[in-house]
Amino acid sequence: MNRPQTPLPTVPPGHGGRPRGRSPFGLAAPSILFALAYLLALLVWLAAGEVLPGGRWFAVHLFTLGVLTNLVLTFSEHFGRTVTRTTGERSAWWPLVTNTGVLGVLIGLPGGHRWLLVAGATVVTTSVFLAYRRIRAMRRAAVGARFGWIARIYERAHGAFIHGAVLGALLGSGVLAGSWYGGARIAHLHANVLGWGGLTLLATLVFFGPTMARTRIEPGADARAARWLRRGATGLSVAVLVLLATGLPGSAGASARVVAAAALGVYAVGATIVCVPVARAVAAAPHRTAAQPLVLGVVGLFPVVVAADVVVVAAGAWRWLDALGIAVLTGVLAQAILATLVYLAPMLRGRTTAARDRLIARLEVGARTRAGLVLAGVLACTLGAARLGDGLPLAAAGWTLLAVVSLVTLLTALWPVPHPDDA
């Protein structure tokens, strides 16, 4: 990317206690706090899930609806305004509205309250649709913006969520059942995981991945990403539609799988074209940051997992789909969230430049070890979900490892930063 990237702010010697200005991410704080609350709830569920209602469905939606949706909504709008250079922010009460709907879904289905499920899904979907309208208005108002294509991909991601939410509501309410249930569930998962989460992440990685490593992406990579992410988003839309027909018997279902796999192959190529130059830039960065090894893990795993998904869909080997879903949720999306938390925590919590610098130094301690443990936990969870070896103990060990690393990272980022006079 040719546009100069903003370096971390510095302060002249002797002014380390100078108060810092308002963080550019300050308005994202409410959504981040909601996401952290759901993340803590997810850690509790992982520790005591057998005695809690909802089963695996509840854990997945704690992450996708509670954590992921809060963060995607706030950061896609923030970065959408950044790349289109438009002013304004969404109203402060939108996170409250969105999370009222999220709670309705999370309580409605496990509790058997279909009216609450439908109401909650309607509120969340409406919130996402209005966010889509705001981002679309930004892009149209920013005539000639070099990176307006990023806002366009955010729009496509929001559209994927709406499609996935409609499918999810139809599945949860029992409208889609019988032979249609399996294909609709697979389409729902792809729309939400690869569309809502994946497209947003890929568009953001082009510029924010290198920024978290304090470097720049190579020239021309943004133009290639723009072309292939548009194609990948279209491929995913086709795949979601065709996946609905994979439950049909005989040659019709087999043909649908082949077409869906081909469409997902376009998405996989787009993901690879985005991730490879980001990986090269981040690996070659002259400075070592706390987020750097986590970003490398994200861009290393994403192309591998989506390529494997193409094979699974083409072969109809659905028993592997849960394992791939775990790999995407933990190794790609959750790891990207951890990297973002590590990068943003000093900006959000450092009241002074000195406090920010102390928090940066604290997070850099053991950063590579934490990233390595994340990858080990992802591998164990994925193999356990695939039922390779003794699956249950392996998966339990993986989830425990991921929970411990996440908790340690949260404590490291959120623990109060002492004033120099208190040290």
d(CA 19, CA 38): 31
pTM of the model: 0.88
Domains of the chain, CATH where assigned: 26-415 (1.20.210.10)
Retrieve residue 68's tokens.
């992921």
Reported confidence tier of residue 8, pLDDT bands at 50, 70, 90:
very low
Q: At what angle do helices 200-212 and 148-172 cross, to 10 degrees?
A: 130
Reported confidence tier of residue 51, pLDDT bands at 50, 70, 90:
low
Angle at 132 between CA 192 and CA 42, to 5 degrees: 40
Q: Is 90 helix (H, G, I), strand (E, B) or coil?
A: coil
Q: Pick 157 or 397 by higher pLDDT.
A: 157
- Res 42: pLDDT: 87
- Res 208: pLDDT: 92
Q: Which residue matches tokens 């996935």? A: 164
- Res 175: pLDDT: 75
Residue 418 has pLDDT above 90, yes or no: no
Residue 84: phi and psi, rounded to 5, are: -95, -5
Residue 249 has pLDDT above 60, yes or no: yes
Asked if residues 390 and 58 have their Cβ atoms less than 8 Å apart, the reply is no
Beta carbons within 10 angstroms of residue 283's beta carbon: 15
- The pLDDT tens digits for 161-217 are 999 988 888 887 777 777 788 889 999 999 999 999 999 999 999 989 999 999 998
Beta carbons within 10 angstroms of residue 94's beta carbon: 19
d(CA 387, CA 362): 38
Q: Pick 375 or 413 by higher pLDDT.
A: 375
- Rounded mean pLDDT of 288-304? 95
Reported confidence tier of residue 228, pLDDT bands at 50, 70, 90:
very high
- Res 264: pLDDT: 97
- Res 11: pLDDT: 30
Residues with Cβ within 8 Å of residue 345, at least 6 apart in sequence: 359, 363, 413, 414
- The pLDDT tens digits for 94-120 are 889 999 999 998 988 777 788 888 889
d(CA 44, CA 47): 5
